[in-house]
């Protein structure tokens, strides 16, 4: 990609580090961080492209575990119960709908399944877990990730606006974002922009949803006859649960737990900046129109359906 402005490498790195520090302050919101990351790389280029993906994965896990120190086990279980039936329904609905739309579009079966899996559970994580099980190639993965990545970015900015427009409660928005947004990072980012209660509910429901990667991988293993393939388990979710238990049952001073959760939220904003920095015009163009139609159709369908259910029941 040709950048709009060519900067001296030292100046480029210096500005990038300054923006990173701004993201760690309380001056930048999560949607601004995401859009800012994309615009920075579009205008000036990325000084550390080889580290971006690894940093996103690590920082997101640390941020999510840190958020656990601001939660109580009783409230967490209640939120998980509220989201359980919605989660089961939405996963089955998305996978079945994705199969039929993909067939109608005459898409390659593996690409269709990867996109449906990413929409049904947790975006890039689900795609990364299912891809080796179904023997997906690099193109299948890159197309699926590109579509999910783009829709995640739109959702992070759009959902808080729609939540206020529809006058959703904190509880309703937390559930909706956890069900209808793909990646954990964008779910947490959108909920964080909406409010603290929404953040607690969205994080809990989304991480419980992410555990469905395991049965989905097993089903995919059977459907695609992928013998001898390993299944990735999102272990950091168990650390998140440990953090909640520690916060609930140990007399940890609020000063410490408050500092941890505040730092976790700052790391989340930085993570979203780096996610934006990893999104390029080339990735968007390379996705193609069929995968984009499938991804958009599934996203709109689950967003509208889950919203109607949540507004009616909760």
pLDDT at 167: 95
pLDDT tens digit sequence for 240-290: 889 999 999 999 999 999 999 999 999 989 988 998 888 777 766 766 788
Q: Are 209 and 195 in contact (CB under 8 A)?
A: no
- Four-residue CA torsion sign, 146, 148, 150, 152: negative
Q: Are 204 and 116 in contact (CB under 8 A)?
A: no
Average pLDDT over residues 112-132: 86
pLDDT at 164: 96
Q: Are 116 and 99 in contact (CB under 8 A)?
A: yes
Alpha carbon 158 to chain centroid, angstroms: 14
Angle subtended by helix axes 289-313 and 109-120, to nearest 10: 30
pLDDT at 125: 79
pLDDT tens digit sequence for 58-93: 888 898 899 889 888 887 787 777 778 888 999 999
pLDDT at 276: 84
Q: How far is CA 52 from CA 23, 33, 68, 278, in A?
A: 15, 15, 25, 7
pLDDT at 226: 61
Identify the band that residue 96 occupies on the pLDDT scale cut at 50, 70 and 90: very high
Q: What's the predicted TM-score (pTM) here?
A: 0.82
pLDDT tens digit sequence for 127-183: 877 887 888 776 777 788 888 888 988 999 999 999 999 999 999 999 999 999 988
pLDDT at 283: 67
3-state DSSP assignment of residue 132: coil
Closest CA to 90 of 284, 252, 306: 306
């Amino acid at each position: 990609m040709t950048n709009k402005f060519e900067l001296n490498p030292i100046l480029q790195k210096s500005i990038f580090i300054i923006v990173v520090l701004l993201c760690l302050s309380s001056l930048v919101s999560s949607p601004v961080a995401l859009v800012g990351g994309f615009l920075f790389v579009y205008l000036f280029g990325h000084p550390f492209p080889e580290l971006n993906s690894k940093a996103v994965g690590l920082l997101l896990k640390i941020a999510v575990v840190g958020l656990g120190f601001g939660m109580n086990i009783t409230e967490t279980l209640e939120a998980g119960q509220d989201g359980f039936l919605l989660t089961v329904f939405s996963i089955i609905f998305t996978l079945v709908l994705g199969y039929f739309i993909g067939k109608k579009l005459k898409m390659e079966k593996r690409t269709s399944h990867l996109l449906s899996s990413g929409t049904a559970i947790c975006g890039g994580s689900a795609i990364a877990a299912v891809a080796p099980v179904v023997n997906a190639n690099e193109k299948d993965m890159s197309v699926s990730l590109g579509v999910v990545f783009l829709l995640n970015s739109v959702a992070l900015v759009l959902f808080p606006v729609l939540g206020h427009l529809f006058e959703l409660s904190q509880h309703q928005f937390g559930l909706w974002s956890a069900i209808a947004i793909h990646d954990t990072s964008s779910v947490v980012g959108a909920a964080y922009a909406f409010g603290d209660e929404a953040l607690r509910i969205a994080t809990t429901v989304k991480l419980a949803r992410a555990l469905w990667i395991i049965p989905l991988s097993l089903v995919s293993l059977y459907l695609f006859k992928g013998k001898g393939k390993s299944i990735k388990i999102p272990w950091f979710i168990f650390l998140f649960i440990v953090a909640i238990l520690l916060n609930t049952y140990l007399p940890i001073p609020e000063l410490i737990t408050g500092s941890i959760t505040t730092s976790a939220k700052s790391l989340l904003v930085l993570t979203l900046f780096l996610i934006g920095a990893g999104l390029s015009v080339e990735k968007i163009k390379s996705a193609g129109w069929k995968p984009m139609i499938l991804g958009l159709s599934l996203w709109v369908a689950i967003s509208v359906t889950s919203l109607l259910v949540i507004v009616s029941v909760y």
